[in-house]
């Protein structure tokens, strides 16, 4: 069997590409901080760098595996673990007790201290990607600062 071509479906037809309207932008700002942007929000701190490193390492791990170990198309159809999903498509929905309220999520995403749990913040961002109502509620809890997004700009970003 041949390894799967990730651009084709199991019946060998092309898979249509659906680009994201918005995506997370992450920039390293020195040895221990990064700047991120998503949903019109600026994210900054050590936690953003940790999140970026985790995303980058996960991506690089796709290429560190011996290609001979990649599941074949038949194995993938049978539930193999070859997963090329985007990070926002993570199906690991947190337990109901672990889901932050929009108010707490807004506070978390605005924090810049070194004690932020980046995995929790990343889970909030992924949930905001999947759930339009949650995204809108979180964004409404973040005050607009002078020089920041105008309310009309924020509502446009929130509707994506």
Residue 50 lies in a domain: yes
Q: From residue 11, how far is each of 4, 15, 46, 73, 145 by CA, in Å?
A: 11, 10, 44, 10, 51
Residue 126 lies in a domain: yes
Rounded to whole angstroms, the Cα distance separating 97 from 76 reads 33
69-108 pLDDT tens trace: 555 545 444 444 445 555 445 555 555 557 899 999 999 9
CB 49 within 8 A of CB 33: yes
Rounded to whole angstroms, the Cα distance separating 110 from 119 reads 15
pLDDT of residue 97: 57
Residue 146's contacts (CB-CB under 8 Å, 6 or more residues apart) are: none
Residue 12 lies in a domain: no
pLDDT of residue 108: 97
pLDDT of residue 68: 54
Residue 13 lies in a domain: no
Which domain does 102 fall in, by range?
Answer: 25-158
Residue 113 lies in a domain: yes
Total domain count for the chain? 1
pLDDT of residue 142: 93
Residue 5 lies in a domain: no
Rounded to whole angstroms, the Cα distance separating 159 from 105 reads 18
Q: Which residues of the chain have pLDDT under 70?
A: 1-10, 65-97, 145-160
pLDDT of residue 153: 44
pLDDT of residue 48: 97
Residue 20 lies in a domain: no
pLDDT of residue 11: 73
pLDDT of residue 60: 84
Residue 129 lies in a domain: yes
């Amino acid at each position: 069997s041949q390894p799967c071509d990730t651009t084709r479906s199991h019946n060998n037809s092309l898979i249509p590409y659906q680009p994201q309207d918005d995506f997370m932008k992450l920039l390293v700002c020195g040895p221990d901080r990064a700047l991120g942007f998503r949903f019109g929000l600026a994210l900054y701190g050590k936690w953003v760098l940790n999140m970026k490193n985790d995303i980058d390492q996960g991506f690089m791990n796709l290429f560190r595996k011996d290609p001979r170990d990649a599941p074949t198309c038949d194995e993938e159809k049978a539930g193999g673990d070859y997963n090329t999903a985007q990070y926002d498509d993570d199906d690991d929905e947190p337990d109901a007790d672990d889901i932050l309220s929009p108010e707490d999520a807004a506070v978390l995403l605005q924090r810049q201290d070194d004690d932020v749990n980046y995995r929790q913040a990343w889970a909030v961002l992924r949930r905001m990607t999947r759930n339009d109502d949650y995204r809108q509620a979180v964004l409404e809890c973040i005050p607009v600062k002078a020089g920041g997004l105008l309310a009309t700009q924020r509502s446009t970003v929130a509707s994506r």
